Structure 1
Amino acid sequence: MEKNHYRVIGIDHGTVRIGIAMSDETGTIAFGKQAIPNDNKSLNKIIDLVKENNAVKIIIGYPLNLKGNKTAQTAEVDKFIASLKEMLNKQSVDAAVIEWDERFTSKMALDSMLESGMKKKNRQNKSNLDIISAAIMLQSYLDSSGGK
């Protein structure tokens, strides 16, 4: 039985940068794609990626504190999600936007960079942390959803 081919995009929203990850065509494996500045062009760049890669879902890292409550950053992500959904709708792009708990992804990304032997200079590059965080968050979603 042949598996459907589609991609899922993962977003790690930050105040300065947005980390972006993407799944393979089977929606099974996540890999880091890029980090883009969080500016007035970021939504268009994300929507272009969705269109170019025929992504069917956009998984947004949703920041909660250790008790599972919303934080000041959550409000920023809520605004970002609302703007993204509005632009997707205006451009008739059919991609679901899903919030996903991102707790501990930055810590896991930092640990991953250390374990991989990444040079200190590269670990200090915040873009790398954002990209790896997005990939870890997206992989968590893909693993829990069984590639669906």
Structure 2
Amino acid sequence: MARIMALDYGMKRTGIAVTDEMQIIASGLGTVPTAELMPYLEKYFKEENVELVLVGEPKQMDNTASQSEGAILEFLKKFQEKFPQMEMKRVDERFTSKMAVRTMIDSGLKKKKRQDKSLLDEISATIILQSYLYK
């Protein structure tokens, strides 16, 4: 089997999570500056077998697209041009940031560490991946 990757795409940085090869465990991989995301993915795909990439779909409470959706759609177009063979799916990411903050609090992280936005993005990507795996 191959890994599944999840992206919590942001304007400044993107959180990344992946499964193990058996697609059982979702783990945070890190956070990458969004400007460096495509080269990062290209290198990762050469080193690891990934069969599916999940991209968070931010929605408002009334189910309309959030204001960041335009930038995400632009990224998706570039991604599909660069990696046409890679399967991609969108996953509703409502509440993932709130869940990530709750996860950090519950795990006992100090307030200073909880203010690390890159950690928040990585945990959000992991939650996106978990929501896909366990639905």
Counterpart among 73, 97, 118 of residue 109 in structure 2: 118
Using the TM superposition, give the Cα deviation of residue 51 of structure 1 relative to its aligned residue in structure 2, in angstroms. Answer: 2.8
Q: Distance in 1 between matches of 2:45 and 2:54?
A: 12
Q: What runs of 5+ residues in structure 1 fail to find an aligned partner? A: none
Measured against aligned partners, the alpha-carbon deviations of 1:11-63 in whole angstroms (never above 9, x if no partner) come to 00011100000011111221101100011x31121232223210000000011
Matches within 5 A, 1:1-148: 5-39=1-35, 41-89=36-84, 94-144=85-135
Using the TM superposition, give the Cα deviation of residue 67 of structure 1 relative to its aligned residue in structure 2, in angstroms. Answer: 1.4
Give the TM-score normalised by the residue count of structure 1: 0.87
Q: Distance in 1 between matches of 2:16 and 2:58?
A: 16
Q: Which amino acid aligns with 1:12?
A: D
Using the TM superposition, give the Cα deviation of residue 97 of structure 1 relative to its aligned residue in structure 2, in angstroms. Answer: 1.0
Using the TM superposition, give the Cα deviation of residue 88 of structure 1 relative to its aligned residue in structure 2, in angstroms. Answer: 0.6
Q: In 2, are the aligned partners of 1:9 and 1:50 still within 8 Å (CA)?
A: no
Give the TM-score normalised by the residue count of structure 2: 0.95
Q: Distance in 2 between matches of 1:25 and 1:103?
A: 27
Q: What runs of 5+ residues in structure 2 fail to find an aligned partner? A: none
Q: Distance in 2 between matches of 1:36 and 1:134?
A: 12
Q: Which amino acid aligns with 1:86?
A: E
Q: In 2, are the aligned partners of 1:28 and 1:143 still within 8 Å (CA)?
A: no
SS of the aligned residue for 1:65 comes to: coil
- Percent identity over paired residues: 37
Q: Distance in 1 between matches of 2:107 and 2:119?
A: 13
Q: Distance in 2 between matches of 1:21 and 1:50?
A: 14
